Amino acid sequence: MSGPLLVRFQIGHLSHLLDPKLPYGHTHLSTVFVRAHDGEEFTDNSFVEKVEFHQYSTSKLVLEHPPFMSSKTSNPESNSTSYEKKVSASIWLAGKEYKFDLSTVPSATSFTTATFYISETSQAFHAIAIRFGADNLVRCGEKRFMGLPGIVGPSSLDSMDIVPLEKKRSIENFKLLDLPNEMISQIFSYLPIGDRLRARLNQKLDTIELESKYFVKELYIHEVSVNDPIICSYSGQEIKFFKEKSYSMDGMKRIAKNASIGRLELYLSGCESVHRDLFNTIKEFEVQRLNVSFVTNEIAEAIMEDSFFLHAARNCKDITFEPCPNVTSETLFQVYQAMMDGSSKLRDVALVEYKYKRLLKSFFKLIGIKYRHGRFLCSSREIEVYSENDDEDGMFKIFDGNIEIHFWKGPFIGDEEFNIFITLHETQKSLDDAKNKYDRIY
């Protein structure tokens, strides 16, 4: 026998408006269905043996074959079909019946998730259930599951069979803290960061959240005003700091401890102690792609240091700083060497509004490149130089092995601020594509 499971299904009703309506006045096609929890339709009977839909005591629909759905036409405007209908769905698993109640309206589409607790089953059924998304739980006190809404479980702790219970829909009976820690941690994985941090108000939830690791695809941290907040259309999760309030960095440090972040964007609009604390806390984050924006060059110059740039280069795959006025040529060369010898996982660097052409020329000198009288002079290393066109607004691309440096020609014709990008190409195709459509000049 195998351990306990939580099995979930989508049970619902689809409504489609018919155009044109049928000759006998029916305007809608209604479909009832049972699917896997992720919406996947069943294709065989290995998991679900059959499904029954009961409406009152007189109507019964038996579905013995996948995909376990049935459709019929109706006229929701008629007296007999316009009101809400109570329907009971029975799902047969491993020879046992599970019942779930739902409401349908012929003109509306709706579905819900039914969750069943199974104490123990055969190993074969256990493997099939896991394949369809069931949660494999450690048996840590089945009493915690009893009476929870939406969870159907064993009526006797002495029984090792699947025994269905009636679903209890009353929300006041639900007690989150009665769930096992494993389930609460799983619930946390679906919550926004702000909701997770509010768990600190409860000692048990605080302990569970503190021990839970999670991944955030995109996180945007920025500062707004209470009276004039920034309207942001950012698609990821957000953390806002209000200028008029003071903050502790405890919450940020907790995020840094528990979260792995795909893309982190930080927007700094000041250089007071709170901004410096926030900026330094970012060092503790596990981030794949880091984008730091400063409102002005003055703020960037006051906060940005070579040490932070080096730390980001060691720990991130992609970094962008905007603007970036004061990273020294020696520091940039250090990062360049780490990308070249593979000691860093960094693949892309973008320095926007990088100041002073003397820094760029000094950086190139460290690489072994000089620019005199409109021409590049390179060392004996295999360095290639490409130009987009002959215009002043064109772009230079320099290739040193599989590393590409590209920038606009501005720094060599008098512009003080410019953008510089460094990319490590991991495949020959990527390298060849980067050289296409450009003319080699060295």
Compute CA distances 271 → 300, 307, 325, whole Å: 8, 17, 15
- The sheet that has 85-93: what strands, in order across it? 59-63, 50-55, 85-93, 96-104
Residue 284 φ then ψ, to 5°: -85, -10
Q: Where are the beta strands (DSSP E) in 22-152?
A: 28-36, 50-55, 59-63, 69-74, 85-93, 96-104, 110-118, 135-136, 151-152
- In Å, how far from its chain's centre is CA 278? 23
Selection from 106, 103, 104, 120 nearest residue 167 by Cα: 103
Compute CA distances 117 → 52, 87, 231, whole Å: 19, 21, 44
Selection from 98, 86, 15, 21 nearest residue 52 by Cα: 98
Contact 354, 325 (CB under 8 A): yes
Selection from 390, 386, 309, 385 nearest residue 350 by Cα: 309
| All CATH 2.60.40.1970 domain ranges in the chain, comma separated | 5-174
Contact 407, 351 (CB under 8 A): no
> What's the average pLDDT block by block, 10 residues per block, for the chain (442 residues)?
78 74 69 83 89 74 88 65 64 86 66 78 82 67 42 35 36 62 80 81 85 88 67 68 76 88 89 84 91 88 88 92 85 92 91 73 84 69 77 76 82 63 92 86 78
| pLDDT value, residue 348 | 94
| pLDDT value, residue 287 | 94
| pLDDT value, residue 269 | 83
- Treating both helix axes as pointing N-terminal to C-terminal, what angle do 181-188 and 203-211 enclose, rounded to 10 degrees? 70
| pLDDT value, residue 104 | 64
Looking at the whole model, is its pTM more than 0.85? no
**Cβ of 267: how many Cβ atoms within 10 Å?**
19
| pLDDT value, residue 352 | 84
Compute CA distances 355 → 8, 88, 324, 326, whole Å: 57, 70, 7, 7
Selection from 346, 254, 272, 274 nearest residue 309 by Cα: 346
- The sheet that has 417-424: what strands, in order across it? 237-242, 214-224, 259-268, 286-294, 318-322, 348-355, 417-424, 403-408, 395-400, 383-387, 439-440
For the domain spanning 5-174, the CATH number is 2.60.40.1970
Contact 52, 100 (CB under 8 A): no
